[in-house]
Amino acid sequence: MASKATNHFVMQRLTAMIQVPLVIWLIIAVVGHARDTHAEFLAWVSSPLTAILLVVLILSISYHLRLGLGEVVDDYVHEKKRLKTGQTLVSLYALAVGAVALFSVIAITLIA
Amino acid sequence: MSQSSADTRPRAAASAVRMKRAGRDAPLSPHLSIWRWTPVNTTSILHRATGIANAAGATLLAAWLACGAIGEGAYDVATAILGSPIGLLILFAFTLSVIYHMTNGIRHLIWDSGHMIGKAGRGTSAYAVYGIALVLTILVWIAAFTLAGA
Ligand code: HEM
C-alpha cells in the first residue's frame, strides 16, 4: 500500500463518493418516514434494501468522520502527547457512533 | 463575480512591508487573522464547520436508530423531541449542513480530478455551492411539510 498520508487522502475521497448517493437517499427516505409509527419504522429499516444501504452508509460515515475529525485535530493540536490523545478520542468516537448505529440496524432487522 | 471578492491575499501584506521599512519584524507566517474573509474563501472554513456538525448529526442518526431498536417507548420519545419546534430547527440545521458539505465536497472531488481549478471556476462555483445548498435544503423542507400535510 502507498503511504499513510496517501491512504488517508484516498479513503477520505472514496468514502465521500460513496456518501453522495447514499446521503441523498437518506434525506429523501427520512422525509418519507418522518411520520412513521414504531411498527412502520421497524418494517422500513428491516426491509433488505434499507438495511443494506444503512449499513454501507454507517460504515462509510464512521470512517469518513474519523479521517475528517482526525485532520481537524492534526491542524489545531500541536503538542505530541495531546495530539495522540486527540486522535484516540476521535477514533473511539467514530467507533462508538458506527457501532451503535450498526448494531441498531442489525437488532431491528432481527426483531422485526 | 467581482475581482476583489476572489482576492484572498493577506491584508497585512502591505503593512508588513511598511513595518520592515520601519525596522520592525514582519509577521512570521500567514495566520487566520490576516486573511480577509470573502464569499469564496469562506466556503473552505464552512466545509470544516459543516463536517464537524455532520459528525454531531451522525450521532443523532445513531441515537434515532438506537431508540427504534430499544422499543416503542424510546422511539416515541425520540419522535416527539425531533418533531418539537426545537427538534425541527435542529433537523433543519443538519439538513443545511449535510447538503452544503455534500455540494462543496463534490466541488472538492471535481478539483481533485484536475478540473475547475482556475480563479474564475473557483469563484463562480463558490456562489453555485451556496445557491444549490440553500435551494435544495428549502426543497427538502417543502417536501417534508407537504407530505406531513397530506
Ligand atoms: C455527503 C457526502 C459527503 C461528501 C461528498 C464529503 C466530502 C468531503 C471531502 C472531499 C472532504 C475533504 C476536504 C478537504 O480535503 O479539504 C471532507 C472532509 C470532511 N468531512 Fe465530508 N463529505 C460528505 C459527508 C460527510 C459526513 C456525513 C460527515 C460526518 C458525519 C462528514 C465529515 C467530514 C469532516 C469532519 C471532514 C474534515 C473537515 C476538514 O478537514 O476541514 N462528511 N468531506
ipTM: 0.95
CB of B148 closer than 8 Å to CB of A35 = yes
Q: Considering only CA atoms, which residue is closest to atom 20 of ligand 1?
A: B51
Rounded-to-integer distance, Cα B59 and Cα B64, Å? 9
CB of B105 closer than 8 Å to CB of B44 = no
CB of A85 closer than 8 Å to CB of B61 = no
* Per-chain mean pLDDT for chain B: 85
Q: Give kind and range of the element (H or E) at residue A42.
A: helix A38-46
Per-residue pLDDT, averaged over B7-33, amounts to: 55
Of B6 and A98, the one with more pLDDT: A98
Note the pLDDT of residue B2: 39
pLDDT, tens digit, 9 for 90 and up, residues A59-89: 999 999 999 999 999 888 888 899 999 999 9
In order of A35, A50, B110, B140, the CA distances from A29 in angstroms are 11, 9, 27, 11
pLDDT, tens digit, 9 for 90 and up, residues B103-135: 999 999 999 999 988 888 888 999 999 999 999
Torsion angles phi and psi, residue B11, rounded to 5: -60, -35
- Topology at the third CATH level for domain A4-111: 3 helical TM bundles of succinate and fumarate reductases (1.20.1300)
The amino acid at residue B19 is M
CA distance B31 to chain A (A): 13
In order of B57, B58, B73, B81, B84, the CA distances from A97 in angstroms are 10, 7, 22, 20, 24
Rounded-to-integer distance, Cα B141 and Cα B125, Å? 24
Of A68 and B27, the one with more pLDDT: A68
* Per-chain mean pLDDT for chain A: 95
Q: Mutate which of B97, B101, B117 to test ligand 1's pocket (most atoms within 8 Å of Cβ)?
A: B101
Of B3 and B36, the one with more pLDDT: B36
Is A16's pLDDT higher than 50?
yes
**In chain A, where are the structural domains located?**
4-111
Note the pLDDT of residue A76: 87
Per-residue pLDDT, averaged over B1-6, amounts to: 43
| Pairwise CB contact (< 8 Å): A101 & B76 | no
Question: How many other CB atoms sit within 10 Å of the CB of residue A67?
Answer: 19
A5 Cα to the center of ligand 1, angstroms: 16
CB of B120 closer than 8 Å to CB of B1 = yes
Q: Choose the weakest-confidence range: A2-6, A46-50, B40-44, B74-78.
A: A2-6
**pTM score:** 0.86
CB of A45 closer than 8 Å to CB of B65 = yes
Is B27's pLDDT higher than 80?
no
Q: Choose the weakest-confidence range: A79-83, B12-16, B58-62, B114-118.
A: B12-16
- C-alpha B110, offset from chain centre: 17
Rounded-to-integer distance, Cα A18 and Cα B46, Å? 21
Q: Considering only CA atoms, which residue is closest to atom 18 of ligand 1?
A: A68
Residue B27, sorted as left (phi over 0), alpha (psi -120 to 50) or beta, turns out to be beta
Is B4's pLDDT higher than 50?
no
Domains of chain B, first to last: 1-35 (no CATH), 37-148 (1.20.1300.10)
